[in-house]
Amino acid sequence: MFERGIGYVVANRREPPKTHHRPGVELRVGFVLARHFTLSAFSLFVDTLRLASDVDDRSGRRLCDWDIISSTPHMIRSSSGINVSPTTRLGDPERFDYIAVIGGLLDVEEQLDRETMAFLHEASRKKIKIIGVCTGSFILANAGLLRNRQACVSWLHHSEFKARFPGIRLTSQRLFVEDAGVITCAGGSSVADLAALLVRRHVGEHAEKNALEILQLDRRREGREVQSRAPIPLPVHFDDRIKAALICMEQNLDERIGIDEIAINVGLSRRQLERVFHKNTGISPAEAYEKIRMKKAMLLIERTSKSLIEVALDVGFASSSHFCRRFRANFGITPNALRKQSGSRQSLRPGKE
């Protein structure tokens, strides 16, 4: 087990010796795991590197290598409760090609300690590429490492990121974004796509192909491809521009941006977007927008105690009367009646008196 460090803020600190790449290793990644990190994001990244570097299924590290780096030797608990042990102390970031920060639960105090945050700043100063994986983008933003850069987050975390860091350019339509030496990745299966891209870039096409085939992936998706999200039921196969438009609508429920702006966001004119929607879904963009708003409103009515005007404002209506009329037109029931039904169902659950 490695020796515990005493912090970057202390002068005359003795640094561990710089470690150079082993002969033949083309890609080396240092993993920084946040408290309650997402295990799947970490394991997908590591296994893509392992399989790209493997020969005869022996889990060798001939072409790629990696370490779990930490300021302490203590185990790091994932959000699933599984503990992972660090393999090395922080040291000099220049011994890595990339530093990948694996985020996790957002309601955790001090996801990374000050010494580790200082290490990330040192890596940035030394021009080592830094990756924010899953909610690792929040950590990088909080550290100031996304200033003047675009960030990519999952559609699930779009609203929270936007609220916390309003000055950062944000997308949750793409799988990952690389901007001025910093990569941010939405998480989920897109972690394998990003790792495979790095393998192809540093090791080669054959290594990438080997990893993808063993992972049972037909191809590596590009970072610009749209995240897998359909806020309302749609045909199994539909245009990616529809998916991007729906995500854009979902992210702008309270502001209720216009269809023209949504069309521009996905690279189409309004007329083109309407044609694509009618051809693939049989409904207009405006009708799809209302369906998404009503779906969100139903969840708020059933699961929160918000007033009708609060719900109306949350989904883009200026008045509760207009909201109630549209709600009834969509569901055949008023919001108040639905809330009463939901309350009755809750009272009948086991353990309720």
Tell me the percentage of the chain whose pLDDT exceeds 70: 88
pLDDT tens figures, 320-348: 999 999 999 999 999 999 998 877 555 44
The CA distance from 252 to 233, in Å, is 19
Residue of higher predicted confidence among 1 and 238: 238
Look at residue 206 and tell me whether its pLDDT is greater than 70.
yes
What is the per-residue pLDDT across 211-241, written as a single tens digit (0 to 9) for each? 999 999 999 999 998 888 778 776 656 678 8
User: Structural domains in the chain?
Assistant: 27-214 (3.40.50.880), 229-353 (1.10.10.60)
User: Per-residue pLDDT tens for 2-44?
Assistant: 443 333 333 333 334 444 455 578 999 999 999 999 999 999 9
Give the relative orientation of helices 39-53 and 205-214 as an angle to the nearest 10 degrees: 130
pLDDT exceeds 90 at position 280: no
Please tell me the distance from the alpha carbon of residue 173 to that of residue 267, in angstroms, as a whole number: 13
Six token digits for residue 54: 């493997």
CA-atom Rg of the chain in angstroms: 24
Nearest to 8 by CA among 83, 87, 120, 111: 120
Residue 44: exposure state from Cβ atoms within 10 A (0-12, 13-18, ≥19): buried
Token pair listed for 183: 């990569």
CB 196 within 8 A of CB 211: yes
Of 142 and 17, more confident: 142
Residues 6+ apart with CB under 8 A from 198: 27, 29, 98
Check residues 276 and 353 and name the one with the higher pLDDT: 276
The residues near 311 (Cβ < 8 Å, ≥ 6 apart) are 297, 300, 301, 304, 323, 335
* pLDDT of amino acid 21: 54
Show the tokens assigned to 254. 């309270």
Please state the separation of Cα 112 from the chain's center in Å: 18
Q: How far apart are CA 8 and CA 115, in angstroms?
A: 6
- Please report the DSSP string for 260-306 in residue order: HHHHHHTT--HHHHHHHHHHHHSS-HHHHHHHHHHHHHHHHHHH---
Predicted local distance difference test score (pLDDT) of residue 23 = 59
Mean pLDDT value of segment 71-89: 96
Tokens read off for 163 = 């609220």
Measure the CA–CA gap between 240 and 221, rounded to whole angstroms: 13
Q: pLDDT, tens digit, for every residue of 144-167?
A: 999 999 999 998 899 899 999 999
- 175-201: average pLDDT: 96
What's the confidence (pLDDT) of residue 345?
A: 54
Q: How far apart are CA 175 and CA 72, in angstroms?
A: 32
Phi, psi of 86 (to 5 degrees): -60, 155
**Which pLDDT belongs to residue 227?**
85
Q: What is the mean pLDDT of the chain?
A: 87
pLDDT over 50 (residue 95): yes
What gap in Å lies between CA 121 and CA 87, rounded to an integer?
A: 21
Measuring CA to CA, which residue among 221, 227, 223 is closest to residue 246?
Answer: 227
Q: For position 239, what pLDDT does the model report?
A: 78
* Mean of pLDDT values over 91-102: 97
